[in-house]
Every structure is written in C-alpha cells, then in structure tokens.
C-alpha cells in the first residue's frame, strides 16, 4: 500500500510542478534559516567542558562598601580580590580548586628579526589545567610547589608550540614573555573550550584558545597585568594584591550535592566572619555551577537568540504557506478522492495517501534546507564575529534538520489530509 | 463593489481564507519587528561622533618599556608628525570604538562613593597635548586644556589621573548637572576631584559599558603628560591620505621600537569592526524579510490561482450575464483586500505583542506606533501585487466558459 501511495504522491506532485517547487522551496528556506540560527545558538550556549562542567563551581562574594547597599537587591561581584581569593583558596575546602585571571603576554620569537606579538595568557594555579581536563601533548602542568615558589614555568598551547618551535617537543626550552624567560614544562594538545568560561567577563567569550598558561605568582612577579580589573575605590593598581580591586576568579570542583551544600556553608561562614571583622559590609554570596554562571553572565549574545526566534517565525510562515498550497491541491482533487472512496478506499487510506505526499515534500524540503543551512553557515563563517569560524553543521544537527523538515511537513499535511478524507464521495461523482 | 457576495463565497472556503489571513498576519508581525530592529541597528551603526573620523588613523603601540615612556612618546610623536600629509598627531589612553574601555564612576558630591547608585559611569580619555586638534574635538563651552594643564597632569598609582581639570561631553554635562551649566563645577571620584573647564560636542565611548547605548556619549577628557598609559597614537590627515598614513605610521613606530608591537588602522575601519556584529544582523534581517515577503506573495499567488481555476465556470457565468473584465478583476482584488485587512489587523496586534515580549527579555525599545500601519500598508500592497496575476487570468476567462460543463 505504501508503495502505491508513494507512486500516487509522485504523480500528483509531478502534475503540478510549479506548485510543488514552491512548496519545497518555501519549506527549505524556512528550514535552512532555522537550522543555521539554531546551529549558531547551540554553538554559543554549548557546554565548554562536557562531563566536567557539572562539578565546577564559581564562588562569589561582595566586598563593596556599605554605601548604597540595599540587602537583597544587589548581586555578588563577578571577580574576587586577591585577599578573598587567597583566603578561600588556602582553606582547601574542595578536592581541587584553582585561581585564574586572564592577562596578555608579549611573546618574543627566538629567531633574530622575528617581530614580537601578543597572545592571551592565563595566570592560574597548578590545578587549573588538570581540573578542566586540558590534554597534554608533551610534559605536564606545573606543581603546587611551583606556585608557591613563584617558579618561572609555562605551559604553551599547541598552536604556539607550532609557531615557536615548529611543533617539536619543547619541554625544557624557554619562552620570552613580557621580557622575562619562562621554562616550558608542558605543551597542550588541542584545548579550546567554547565558550571560554574563565574569560567571559572581559568580552572575549569565544574563539581561539589561549597561548600561554603560567603560575599566577610568577606572572604577577613579572608584572603581568590582568585584563579585567574592577575597583570600587581609588587604589594602587601597581600593587593589585592590596588594592580595593577585583580581578581573580576561583573555580572549585565539588563532586556531589553534599559537597556543594558544605561549600555554600563554608562560603557563608567566611562572609559572616569578614563582616564581623569589618572587612565586608554585604552578606550576599553565590555559588553557581559552570553552566549557571554562563547563564548569569548572559554569555550568549542577544542577537543570536533574536535571530533564532526570527528564523522560527519565518519557518512558521513557510509551514502556513505549505498548508495552504497542499490544501489547494487536495481540494482540487476532490473528484479523484471521490472516485477512490467510491471504489472502496477507506478514510484512513486517503489520509495516509495525503500524508505520504506531505512527507515527500518534507523530505525534499529537508534535503534542500540542508543545502541552504550549509550556505547560511558558510555565510556566517565569513562574518567577523569571534565565534564565526566555529559555525559548522555537526551530525546531530544534520539529523535534526530532517526531524524538523518531516515534522513541519507532516504538521502542514495534517489539515489537508483531514479535509481530503472527509470528502463525501457522492456529490463529487454526481457533479460531472 | 458589492462585498456581500465576496463574503458569502469566502464563508464557503473558510479554511483556505483563514490560512491566507494567518500567513499575512504572521508576515506583518515579523515584518514590523524586523524593520524596527533594522532601523535601530542602522541608527547605531550611524551614531554620530564629534571627531574627524574620516581623516583619522590610529596606531596602537603595546609592549613598550613603561620606564622610557616619558622620553619615547615625544620622540614617537615627532617621527609621526614628519610623515607626509599628516596635519596633527597626539597620543591617548584609548580611542572611541576601540573596545578598550576606561570606565570610572563619577559623582557630583564629595560625600558620594563611586559604588553609590547615583554615580554615573563614564569613559575617561587621557590625552596628550594637541589631541584636541588631532581628534578634531569641537568645543561648545569654556576652554580647551592649556600647556600648563598638560604639564601638571600625571598618572599616579591608581587608575585616576592626578589633575584637577576636565572637559566633559555635552551629553554627560546634561546628565551630571541637568538644566545647569557644567562650567566650573566639580566632579568627584572617591578622593579625587576635577573641575570642568570645557564642554565638547559628543564623542563616542570605546565600549558599550555603563548605561549601554544611552550612555554611549558619557565621556570625560583629561590632560596627560607623556606616560606609559598613553599608547593609542592618532594621526589626522586628508581622508584621501589616511590609508597610506596608517601604514606608514605603523612602520615608523615598529622601526622606532622593535621590542613593541605596533598596529595601524584607519578610524573608518575601527568603526566598521566595532559595528560588524550590528551590520551583519542588519543584513540577516533584510535577507529574511525579503525572502519572507516573497514566500508570502507566492503563497497568495498559489491559493488565488487555485481559486480562480476552481471558479472558472462561475466566472464564465458572470461574464455571460454581463459582468465586464474589470468587474472580475476588481472582485478578486477586493477579496484579497478583505483578507489582507483581516490579516494585517491580526498582524498588528501580534506585532505589538512580540514587541512587548522582546522589550521584556532583550535590549529592545518600544516600537513607535507608525511601524504598525507601515507594515500593514506594505503587506496590503504586497497582497494586491500578488493577486494581480491570478485576477488578470480570471478576467480573461471567456463568457463561453459558462456553457461548458465543469
């Protein structure tokens, strides 16, 4: 029976080529727009560390003065001061934890005459790279002893290793950063979490990974400045460790709900203690997990979400359009339906026949929509946005395209198919 | 034109009629909001900026030795000044639309803290002597900085300049002291105070920090001696020379300081980079609107053609009993007009609702009322254009059709 429906549908679609082309084209455009924008949206709101993000938490406190404070109406700050970051870090209340700040490093190539260039630098403590699961090609991360000793060691990214050392094992060699020599202890494999969760509050949320990762104390000893400094009073920014300025993030690994509850208690206790000492005046704290933190920071650009909404509206118009055209076709075939009914076809059979026709339109629309989506993503890759180069169709979106296409076509086919199957055979036969 | 028979006939084809109404309504709602957003983005891209954007080139010099800034900056400026075609040069801590913000909260009372809600977040521009000429700042009130102001202003250990004079933008002056003259007034930041000596026409900020788009002109200028925080070299030339000047200036600075990284650009390119996201959004919206209108139009053509085909006999009968071609034509046009009218009525309500939703969840303003009738007229015209073909074909149906059996 199914084969017969296919044959009927094929013939019916072929009979009115212009109308069929219109339906398929409209549906394909709607689907193409939807898949393009959804791919971008998924890319932007993705999980930077699949499998690990649920255990990473970001403690926040509020060291602001009392002025203008209305309890319950303010949110804790994005970053920590050096003092608070170190107090919380030294308490070691989580199995693993790391301080992190983003800076930039002037990198001097070894070859004579090579022009220096700037790269993003991550200043962190020893457990940062292991905790976020960064893969090592050569060597390993530095140790906690290196942290305290202020050892001038560095882990470099694969692309920087390629650029400076031609991709060879460079462990033990030196890299000149901001005029100081650092010894390479590790070379990363491909490591580029998207969004760059540790760098989002400086507005560079997506894009290439960072060039160098180095111990926080050693970096600060060479006067590497954090990119994001936020001060609530005039402070000496040459000596950030004592200034009323926030510039550090703390990531803690909390394996289960009990650990999270414990850490939250510890954090609240810490803030109460600071209030009692007169250092703090505001008691708000927060402990979002990584994905929640990304949502709080609204890392996904509004434009991406607006575009997805717009594309969805467009698809809705296309589906309405397809319903109308399918309906027109089906009403025109009332006589054919009447004849089939009179010859014994059940309502279900008529319904099935029209749904098969709709499904064919859907599949064709999906196939063409995929072409449009690829074209759309190609267009996005040539935009100057920082995430542009990442916009690619993956296998799941590929499959999703067909789900959307079939679903839209079947929804579009429902009404016409229903109208078709309720056609009363007698009047149709009579009228001729 | 009698609309009674049209309504009667539409009642017989309730579902196709409803679909056309729905499609027009959706298209109208999307069109109004999309055009409104296009307008907002285009306005953003064209934000005015009271500097000589067309003639400016900017070179950033990063990674220079901070200890030698006081001697190297004058040397660099001298070398840049000698580039042919350069009319003025200066150096600042950042530039409009550069993305590198220096955001400071100012208050108008000494007892108010920067964290207080009443403080206003502004960008500070620290400029070397001659920057007013190099940028092309337009003085509106008061005076520019004098040589003694530049000589006495330094950077201390904090991010605030050690000086007591400031020039504010017109917009910021109005926000800090609404309805009063800003000249001679003091603005405060923690323990620092600055007296306003001049007001300049509105210059853009480097970023969208602070109050976002409404605060994009909140800028303060301070004089500054040559110090290491000044690393945006700005050169003014005739617009025709700017590309060459930007290139030559980059080479000059790279040669003078091989240990630092110099990067030259025209200001026009900086503006393009800053608004690249907005302009690709505009193009995307335009594209979707055009395709959407095309799809809607073809939908109307498809359904009306079907109707015409179905009613050939009735049309023939009408022609046979005396209706002219014009009557048939106007029948289908009126029918489409009625459907469009219902569609845009629904669409305007929908458009208004979508705008309310967007206002709540996104940085979108209230849509001015005239977008609604504008969208309605656009779709009504589209409907009339789309129906013309099928209606024309209907008008061509010969009266003899009445005698043929359907």
Is B298–A321 a contact, with Cβ atoms under 8 angstroms apart? yes
Nearest CA in chain B to A321: B299
Q: With a CB-CB cutoff of 8 Å, which residues 210-229 of chain A face chain B?
A: 229
Judging contacts by C-beta atoms under 8 Å, the chain B residues touching residue A33 are 288, 291
**Residue in B100, B265, B291 to test binding to A, most A beta-carbons within 10 Å:** B291
Residue B203: predicted pLDDT:
95
Residues of A in contact with B291 (CB under 8 A): 29, 33, 314
Residues 6+ apart with CB under 8 A from B23: A317, A320, A321, A324, B296, B299, B300, B343
Length of chain A: 432
Do A211 and A119 form a contact (C-beta atoms < 8 A)?
A: yes
Give the torsion through C-alpha atoms of A400, A402, A407, A409, to 10 deg: 150
Q: Do residues A129 and A255 both lie within one domain?
A: yes
What is the average per-residue pLDDT within A373-392? Answer: 82
**CB-CB neighbours of A381 under 10 Å:** 14
What ipTM, to 2 d.p.?
0.82
In this structure, are A150 and A222 located in the same domain?
Answer: yes
pLDDT at A83: 93
Q: Output b/e per residue, A90-127; b: 16+ Cβ within 10 A.
A: eeebbebbbbbbbbbbbbbeeeeeeebeebbbbbbbbb
Does one domain contain both A402 and A345? yes
Which residues constitute the domain of residue A277?
A: 53-296
Q: Label residue A55 by pLDDT band (50, 70, 90).
A: very high
Asked if residue A259 and residue A345 are part of one domain, the reply reads: no
pLDDT tens digit string along A226-251?
A: 888 888 887 777 788 888 889 999 99
Same domain? For A284 and A368 the reply is no
Please state the domain extents for chain B.
4-46+277-403, 64-259
Give contacts of A 99-138 with B, CB under 8 A: 106, 108, 115-118
Could you give the CA distance from residue B107 to residue A39 in angstroms, rounded to a whole number?
A: 45
* Residue showing tokens 């025209």: B266
Do A253 and A307 share a domain, yes or no?
Answer: no
Residues A154 and A212: beta-carbon distance below 8 Å: yes
Mutate to test the interface with B, among A321, A365, A382 (most CBs of B within 10 A): A321
Name the helix (H) or strand (E) containing A313: helix A302-332
Q: What's the pLDDT score for residue A113?
A: 67
Owner of token pair 């050939």: B312
Residues A338 and A284 in one domain: no
CB contact (8 A) between residue B306 and residue A328: yes
The mean of the pLDDT values for chain A is 86
CA-to-CA dists, residue B334 to A290, B3, B24, B339, B388, angstroms: 59, 8, 16, 9, 11
CB-CB: which of A68, A178, A237 is closest to B117?
Answer: A68
Which residue in chain B has the smallest CA separation from A225?
B63
Q: What is the pLDDT of residues B29-46, one digit of tens each?
A: 999 999 999 998 899 899
Q: Is A280 on the interface with B (CB under 8 A)?
A: no
Do A29 and A163 belong together in one domain?
no
Give B273's contacts in chain A (Cβ within 8 Å): 384
The residue of B228, B284, B313 whose CB has the most chain A CBs within 10 angstroms, and thus the best one to mutate to test that interface, is B284
| pLDDT, tens digit, 9 for 90 and up, residues A7-46 | 877 787 777 788 888 888 988 999 998 888 888 888 888 8
* pLDDT, position A43: 83
Query: Residue A390: its pLDDT value, please?
Result: 76
| pLDDT tens-digit series, residues A122-163 | 999 999 999 999 999 999 999 999 999 989 999 999 889 988
In this structure, how many other beta carbons lie within 10 angstroms of the beta carbon of residue B47? 16
Q: Which residues of chain B have pLDDT under 70?
A: 1, 405-406
Q: Which of A296, A316, A331 is the last residue of a domain?
A: A296
Pick the last residue of a domain from A296, A316, A344.
A296
Chain A residue numbers touching B30 (CB-CB < 8 A): 310, 313-314, 317
**Which percentage of chain A shows pLDDT scores above 90?**
29
- The mean pLDDT of A410-428, rounded to a whole number, is 82
Shortest CA distance to B359 belongs to which of A313, A37, A302?
A302
- How much of chain B, in percent, has pLDDT values that exceed 90? 62
Q: How many domains does chain A have?
A: 2
pLDDT value at residue B106: 92
DSSP state of B348: H
A189 and A86 in a common domain: yes
Residue A86 in tokens:
């170190």
Same domain, A189 and A232: yes
Helix (H, G, I), strand (E, B) or coil at A90: helix
pLDDT of residue B208: 85
Bridge partners (DSSP) listed for residue B61 = B262
Instruction: Determine whether the interchain pair A328/B277 forms a contact, defined as Cβ–Cβ distance below 8 Å.
Output: no
User: Which DSSP symbol is given to A56?
Assistant: E
Return the pLDDT at A269.
93
Mark which of A238, A263, A296 sits at the end of a domain: A296
> Which of A235, A303, A324 has its CB closest to that of B16?
A324
Mutating which of B306, B382, B390 best tests the A interface, going by the most A Cβ atoms within 10 A?
B306
């Amino acid at each position: 029976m199914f084969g017969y429906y296919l044959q009927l549908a094929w013939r019916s679609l072929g009979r009115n080529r212009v109308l069929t082309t219109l339906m398929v084209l409209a549906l394909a455009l709607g689907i193409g727009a939807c898949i393009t924008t959804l791919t971008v949206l998924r890319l932007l709101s993705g999980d930077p560390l699949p499998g690990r993000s649920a255990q990473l938490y970001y403690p926040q406190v509020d060291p602001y003065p009392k002025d203008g404070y209305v309890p319950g109406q303010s949110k804790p700050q994005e970053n920590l001061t050096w003092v608070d970051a170190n107090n919380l870090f030294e308490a070691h209340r989580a199995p693993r934890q790391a301080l992190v700040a983003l800076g930039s490093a002037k990198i001097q190539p070894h070859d004579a005459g090579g022009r220096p260039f700037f790269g993003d630098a991550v200043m962190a403590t020893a457990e940062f790279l292991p905790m976020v699961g960064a893969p090592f090609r050569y060597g390993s991360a530095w140790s906690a002893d290196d942290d305290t000793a202020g050892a001038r060691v560095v882990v470099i990214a694969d692309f920087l290793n390629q650029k400076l050392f031609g991709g060879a094992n460079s462990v033990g060699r030196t890299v000149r950063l901001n005029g100081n020599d650092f010894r390479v202890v590790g070379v990363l494999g491909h490591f580029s979490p998207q969004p760059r969760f540790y760098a989002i509050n400086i507005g560079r949320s997506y894009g290439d990974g960072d060039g160098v990762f180095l111990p926080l104390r050693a970096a600060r000893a060479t006067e590497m400045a954090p990119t994001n400094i936020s001060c609530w009073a005039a402070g000496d920014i040459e000596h950030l460790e004592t200034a009323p300025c926030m510039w550090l993030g703390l990531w803690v690994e909390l394996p289960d709900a009990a650990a999270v509850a414990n850490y939250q208690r510890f954090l609240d206790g810490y803030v109460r203690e600071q209030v009692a000492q007169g250092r703090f005046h505001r008691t708000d704290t927060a402990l979002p997990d990584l994905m929640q933190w990304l949502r709080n920071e609204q890392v996904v650009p509004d434009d991406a979400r607006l575009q997805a909404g717009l594309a969805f509206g467009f698809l809705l118009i296309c589906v309405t359009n397809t319903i109308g055209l399918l309906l027109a076709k089906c009403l025109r075939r009332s006589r054919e339906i009447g004849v089939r009914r009179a010859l014994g076809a059940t309502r279900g059979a008529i319904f099935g026949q029209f749904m098969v026709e709709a499904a064919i339109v859907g599949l064709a629309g999906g196939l063409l929509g995929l072409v449009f989506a690829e074209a759309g993503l190609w267009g996005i890759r040539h935009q100057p946005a920082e995430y542009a180069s990442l916009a690619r169709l993956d296998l799941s979106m590929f499959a999703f395209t067909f789900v959307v296409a079939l679903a839209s076509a079947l929804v579009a086919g429902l009404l016409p198919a229903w109208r078709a199957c309720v056609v009363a055979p007698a009047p149709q036969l009579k009228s001729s | 034109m009698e609309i009674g028979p049209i309504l009667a006939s539409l009642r017989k084809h309730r579902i196709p009629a409803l679909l056309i109404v729905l499609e027009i309504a959706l298209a109208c709602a999307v069109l109004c909001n999309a055009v409104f957003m296009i307008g907002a983005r285009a306005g953003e891209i064209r934000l005015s900026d009271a500097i000589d954007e067309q003639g400016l080139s900017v070179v950033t010099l990063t990674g220079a030795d901070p200890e030698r800034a006081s001697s190297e900056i004058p040397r660099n400026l001298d070398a840049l000044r000698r580039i042919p075609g350069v009319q003025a040069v200066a150096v600042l801590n950042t530039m409009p639309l550069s993305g590198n913000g220096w955001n400071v909260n100012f208050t108008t009372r000494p007892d108010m803290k920067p964290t207080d809600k009443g403080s206003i977040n502004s960008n500070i521009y620290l400029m070397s002597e001659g920057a007013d000429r190099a940028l092309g700042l337009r003085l509106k009130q008061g005076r520019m900085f004098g040589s003694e102001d530049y000589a006495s202003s330094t950077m201390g250990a904090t991010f605030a300049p050690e000086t007591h004079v400031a020039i504010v933008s017109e917009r910021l002056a109005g926000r800090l002291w609404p309805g009063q003259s800003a000249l001679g007034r003091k603005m405060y930041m923690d323990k620092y105070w600055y007296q306003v000596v001049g007001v300049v026409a509105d210059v853009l900020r480097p970023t969208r920090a602070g109050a976002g788009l409404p605060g994009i002109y909140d800028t303060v200028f301070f004089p500054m001696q040559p110090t290491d925080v000044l690393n945006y070299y700005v050169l003014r030339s005739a617009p025709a020379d700017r590309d060459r000047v930007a290139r030559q200036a980059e080479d000059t600075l790279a040669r003078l300081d091989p240990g630092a990284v110099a990067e030259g650009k025209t200001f026009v390119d900086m503006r393009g980079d800053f608004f690249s996201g907005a302009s690709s959004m505009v193009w995307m919206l335009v594209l979707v609107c055009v395709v959407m209108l095309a799809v809607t139009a073809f939908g109307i053509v498809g359904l009306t053609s079907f109707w015409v085909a179905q009613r050939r006999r009735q049309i023939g009968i009408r022609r046979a009993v005396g209706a002219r071609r014009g009557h048939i034509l106007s029948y289908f046009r009126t029918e489409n007009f009625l459907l469009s009218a219902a569609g845009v009525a629904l669409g305007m309500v929908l458009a208004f609702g979508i705008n309310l939703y967007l206002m709540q969840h996104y940085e979108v303003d209230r849509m001015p009322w005239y977008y609604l009738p504008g969208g309605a007229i656009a779709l009504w015209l589209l409907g009339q254009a789309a129906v013309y073909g099928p209606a024309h074909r209907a008008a061509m149906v010969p009266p003899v059709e009445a005698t043929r059996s359907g």
